[in-house]
Amino acid sequence: MKESKISRFAIRHSAVLTMILLALALFGVFSIYTTNLEFIPDMDMPQIFVISIYPGASAEDVENDVIDVLEDDFVTLPDFNGMDSEAMNSIGVITITFRDGVNPEDQLNEVRNRISDLSSSLPSGLTGEPMAIIGGATMLPVVSFSVEGGDDTAALSEYITENIRPQLTRIPGVSTITISGSETPQVDIKLRLDDLASKGISPLTVYQILQYSNLAMPLGSGESSGRRVDLRYDGTYESLDEIKALPVGATDSGEIIRLSDVADISVEYRGEDYTVTTEGQDVIVVEVAKRADGNTIQITNEVKRILEESEKETGGAVTYHMISDDSRLVIASLKNVIESGVLGILIAVLVIFIFLNDLKATLAIGLSIPLSCFFTFIAMKIAGITVNILSISGIVVSLGSIVDASIVVLDQVYRYFQDTDENGNPRYSVTESIYLGTGTVDKSVIGSNLTTVIVFIPVILLSGLVGNLLHDISLTFMIAIGSSLLVAMVYMPYLLRHFLKDSDSRKKKKDSAPVRALIKVEKGYGRSLGFCLNHTPFIIVLALMILVLTVYSLTSLTISFIPSTDNSDFYISISLPSNYNLDQTKEVMTKAEHILIENVPELETDIVYSGKSVDALSFSSSENVGGIHAILVPVAERDRNVHEIILQMQYALASEIPDAKIEVKNGGFDYLVGYMSGGGGYGITFLGEDEEVLYEYAEDLKEFLEKDPEVISASVSSTYDSTSAVMDASYEYLSSLGIPNYEAAMTTAILFNGMDTGIFHDPDSGNRYDIHLSSDATDRPVNQSLLDSIRINTQAGSVVTMDAISEMDIETSLSSISHTDRAVSMTVSAQITGESTTALSRRVAQYIAEHPMPDGVSSDTGGIDELIADSLGPLMQALAISLFLVYMVIVLIYERFDQPLLIMLLVPFCVIGVVLSLAVFGSSLSMVSLLGVVTLGGMLVNNGIIMVDYINQLQEGSKRELMTRRGIEWDEDGKNIGKLSYEDEMTILFDNVKKGTASRLRPILMSVLTTVLGVIPMAIATGEGAEIYAPLGQVIMGGLTTSTFITLFLMPTFYFILERHKVRKAYNWKGNTKEAN
């Protein structure tokens, strides 16, 4: 009989293994405590955002003057993969996406250098150069809080900027600090149009004087008093009075006209173009974002410590209120999944004890779980995998597989250990039993574990968002299974040698009730096998019927990218007609907040933005938009889930605020997925060249979607609601008057938009203030009368009015213009009641078929559909490759092609269990569910490998024994068919298939039940984050249950048919000889 060299080493070097065991426990605990805790793996995409601020420009101007110029150059960037852009009033945003695996940090300097090179081609009205920043999930805050401290917002803003912000930026792992609702000081110079007109002063003259009067520059070096000195000219302002006294002109009598004669000058605190409130009170909100390697819990704890110290230092004059705290979600979600894992371990150990009825054996198996987990956590630490709900889910799902190898080893060792001769004496000692037991199953154990591990290799090589999402859980599962193989082959013999004594084999234990029941099940199973082997045509037809049912069941599946989660927050976005000013928007947002408070008693806190969107992809402010971030009490403290609340709020707000476009969207992980997919939900993008054609078709589709029962709300990415008063000047007329076009444009820009003209350094306080030049034109209605009061100097010295050289036209244009890879695009989005967009996509496809797109217009999927389209194909390819790798491993183990193919036939039979399980729990087929299918692809063949390997061993042993008794030489090359009679061959085959399969029933049932029952807590889990990992448990539970039941009958039947065919072929059987039965 074959002995195991690995077990021999483990037993003979127990001191070495003991020390390794202690080191394993020590470093395992260390790894657990030092690994970052996060909600999900890092999902950053290789993206860079380029943001251009072009004050006063229309969306069309931003597109033509900024976006087009930059896009034409960015398309040649190295590792470029795609580009999207959006031009809005006064702002343009370009999103550059690089190939997977590219670090955007490496591309950031290249993008910035190109922007600098293009500066001469960009309009002079830009506020500085376009800003390039790294995009991705790290732009979203992990903690945010509001600050209150009296009515002096300016002083509070200064305190936050100078005291709190520097402390926050020093926290390890923090990337950006965003402050909303604050005020910053500036020197405000407000020109009075009437005084400018009466004194004949041009606004452009004032602007130029301000720029040229505030100057400092180096002058090289020279000699003074016998030594070398640096020379420097300093003509900067020393005080505010100097600015007020600045000469800007002279009267006819030669009297100097000072700046204060035509303008109001003061230090003012400039707020944002939007307001931030809670329950009607203005507040300042601070958001803290982290780097990819930042620790959410450590950052949040440090933020709270800083705020507590600040409250103590100010004596409560400044107070802080937490708005969002991702650490709470991380801790709660990890607690849920860890509790599921611990409960799964307890269930698994209980199942093992019931089957074995032996405390020592159960203890040996039970210890294999923490040992494997210690190995796994150490490897996770080395690989840089964080402890998150998906990586921990990988460990939880692998718990059953972790004990599989140990169960098979232990079961076979016990069979030798409890074997007795005719006199009832044990045949083998403990050591011999361990050597023989591990030697018998080492090939099948290694093979089954390799097949479980190898299926994940294609998954961990996936790129893109799905690769980021599934990498950690796949690698963790591989590590856990690899660790369990090491434990089973090395530490299980070591533990059994210390737990078992030779005298134990002589102790006769009374079988427990479960064991007696299992013996009856084995006998019944044996009889059932006899029926299957004698009625193979019936079994084949039954298998085909099951396959047909499996294929049919696939049509009932709905598909989603990732299950929607309840992370205890949601967002309300409100877009009002374009004629709403900030005060009117604020009034509507206050009303929306009251509706929220009345309808949502589960509300913990909320923040209201007026004049600014809460959309993560929004970089601008607009007076007619607003948003609310609502935070709920934790899931365990409320009866309704966030999706029910969202649906109620959508209808409540729509009925109370009828003239607005309202979207209520889930927060938390759904918000992140929406951010990564450009908004989430359903989306379809139309591409073309003519914005009007795209808009008309998109509007028609939006109207169609609004009538769909599955759609809550629908919207188009842009609308014709941007109204502009265009001062159209005649270039020829300007030239005839000697007025440069630049002067006319700059004059109007100063008066209507205002411009920064430098920086004032206050020598007393040391503060730096922007100098902002504007006029009282912004306080007047824009009409021809106002244009008549604007004076422009000609080169001849005469003065003309703006009304004389231009006409004012009112134009309506798109509020934003989007590009997708430089083509004009327009997206129709829809918020739906469920997770899956499959049915809605079919209806939209039918609509497009019935209403063809105009010539030159094409479409592309967007939102969640785009994520599914980009992810499903690669994942299915990974599944196909995984199955091929499994087959390859089995072929390498058996060195034949037929039996491995037989084992692979078991895989399709798991699908019906997967579909039933997802249907029972109301889950859709998501990327996580598909990972469960990949996992099953490795798990399912394990039972077949163990079964076939043992039957092969019995076949060889029986034939060898019979041939030896009859004096027939055994061929070591395996060519032994035909040396016995046909009846002997069939009898041996029939008996060994029944015996080998029945004897494997107990370890198969033990391993399957430990896996299935172990993942039940995960499959039925509720609470934070459970929606993401629960389908994984559901797929494993359903697929493994049905496939195991089918395998127990189909596998031996298929094996019998295959080997019977070989025997018949060898004996040229014609069907006239009675077979063994």
DSSP 869-899: HHHHHHHHHHHHHHHHHHHHHHHHHHT-SHH
Same domain flag for 654 and 718: yes
Please tell me the predicted confidence (pLDDT) of residue 304. 93
- Which of 510-524, 647-661, 1001-1015 reaches the highest mean pLDDT? 647-661
Please tell me the predicted confidence (pLDDT) of residue 697. 92
Work out how many domains the chain is built from and give that number.
Answer: 5
Using the 8-state DSSP alphabet, how is residue 504 labeled? Answer: G
Residue 192 within any structural domain of the chain: yes
Helix (H), strand (E), coil (C) string for 137-168: HHHCEEEEEEEECCCCHHHHHHHHHHHHHHHH
Whole-angstrom CA distances from 367 to 373, 407, 721, 1055 are: 10, 12, 68, 35
Task: Output the domain CATH number for residue 802.
Answer: 3.30.2090.10
Quote the percentage of the chain above a pLDDT of 70: 91
Residue 60 within any structural domain of the chain: yes
Lowest mean pLDDT among 313-322, 442-451, 540-549: 442-451
pLDDT exceeds 80 at position 680: no
**pLDDT band for position 631 (cuts 50, 70, 90):** very high
Please tell me the predicted confidence (pLDDT) of residue 731. 61
Please tell me the predicted confidence (pLDDT) of residue 183. 76
Domain end marker among 796, 813, 830: 813
CB neighbours of residue 20 within 10 Å? 14
Coil, helix or strand for 945? helix
The pLDDT tens digits for 749-805 are 788 878 888 888 877 777 778 888 888 887 777 766 777 777 776 655 667 777 666
Residue 320 within any structural domain of the chain: no
User: Which token pair is 822?
Assistant: 């430089």
The pLDDT tens digits for 849-884 are 999 999 888 988 877 777 777 777 888 888 889 889
User: Cα-atom radius of gyration of the chain, to the nearest Å?
Assistant: 38
The pLDDT tens digits for 361-390 are 788 888 888 888 888 899 888 888 888 888
Q: Which domain holds residue 212?
A: 185-217+234-271+723-813
Residue 108 within any structural domain of the chain: yes
pLDDT exceeds 90 at position 196: no
Q: What's the whole-number mean pLDDT along residues 894-918?
A: 84
Domain end marker among 135, 157, 177: 135
Residue 407 within any structural domain of the chain: yes
**pLDDT band for position 808 (cuts 50, 70, 90):** low
Same domain flag for 672 and 806: no
Same domain flag for 792 and 883: no
Same domain flag for 694 and 763: no
Name the nearest CA neighbour of 56 among 921, 1027, 755, 678. 755
Task: Output the domain CATH number for residue 394.
Answer: 1.20.1640.10
Judge whether 924 and 558 are in contact, CB under 8 Å: yes
Query: Residues 207-211: contacts with CB within 8 Å, 24+ apart?
Result: 207/746, 207/750, 207/755, 207/757, 207/773, 209/246, 209/247, 209/248, 209/259, 210/246, 210/259, 210/757, 210/758, 210/771, 210/773, 211/757, 211/758
Whole-angstrom CA distances from 23 to 18, 158, 375, 496 are: 9, 53, 11, 20
The pLDDT tens digits for 238-262 are 888 888 888 988 887 888 999 999 9
| 71/94 Cα distance (integer angstroms) | 8
Task: Count CA within 13 A, CB hemisphere, residue 815.
Answer: 18
Same domain flag for 922 and 1054: yes
Same domain flag for 857 and 882: no
Please tell me the predicted confidence (pLDDT) of residue 974. 62
Residue 399 within any structural domain of the chain: yes
Q: Calculate the average pLDDT of the chain.
A: 83
Same domain flag for 1040 and 920: yes
Coil, helix or strand for 388? coil
Lowest mean pLDDT among 85-89, 147-151, 616-620, 1066-1070: 616-620
Q: What's the whole-number mean pLDDT along residues 123-129?
A: 82
Lowest mean pLDDT among 1-10, 21-30, 433-442: 1-10
Same domain flag for 788 and 825: no
Please, where are the H alpha helices in 738-861? 741-752, 784-788, 802-805, 838-850
**pLDDT band for position 730 (cuts 50, 70, 90):** low
Residue 151 within any structural domain of the chain: no
pLDDT exceeds 60 at position 1071: no
Same domain flag for 362 and 446: yes
> What's the start-to-end Cα distance of the chain, in Å?
30
Quote the percentage of the chain above a pLDDT of 90: 12
Beta-carbon contacts of residue 56 (< 8 Å; ≥ 6 apart): 90, 125, 749, 752, 753
| 451/430 Cα distance (integer angstroms) | 30
pLDDT exceeds 50 at position 638: yes
- Which of 454-458, 963-967, 1004-1008 reaches the highest mean pLDDT? 454-458
Same domain flag for 944 and 1042: yes
Whole-angstrom CA distances from 817 to 83, 290, 820 are: 14, 31, 10
Same domain flag for 1050 and 902: yes
**pLDDT band for position 1073 (cuts 50, 70, 90):** very low
pLDDT exceeds 80 at position 512: no
Judge whether 609 and 275 are in contact, CB under 8 Å: yes
Using the 8-state DSSP alphabet, how is residue 924 labeled? Answer: -
Judge whether 585 and 626 are in contact, CB under 8 Å: yes
Residue 311 within any structural domain of the chain: no
**pLDDT band for position 1072 (cuts 50, 70, 90):** very low
Helix (H), strand (E), coil (C) string for 993-1005: HHHHHHHCHHHHH
Domain end marker among 774, 797, 813: 813
Question: Does residue 358 or residue 584 have the better pLDDT?
Answer: 584
Name the nearest CA neighbour of 749 among 782, 723, 774, 724. 774
Task: Output the domain CATH number for residue 54.
Answer: 3.30.70.1430
pLDDT exceeds 80 at position 737: no
For residue 532, what are the β-bridge partners? none
Please tell me the predicted confidence (pLDDT) of residue 591. 93
User: Which token pair is 412?
Assistant: 């076979």
Same domain flag for 23 and 59: no
Name the nearest CA neighbour of 669 among 488, 835, 497, 852. 835
| 908/554 Cα distance (integer angstroms) | 12
Q: What's the whole-number mean pLDDT along residues 164-187?
A: 87
**pLDDT band for position 1077 (cuts 50, 70, 90):** very low
**pTM score, whole prediction:** 0.79
Residue 719 has phi, psi (to 5 degrees) of -135, 160
**pLDDT band for position 1074 (cuts 50, 70, 90):** very low
pLDDT exceeds 50 at position 1076: no
Please tell me the predicted confidence (pLDDT) of residue 792. 72
The pLDDT tens digits for 403-428 are 777 877 887 887 787 777 777 677 78
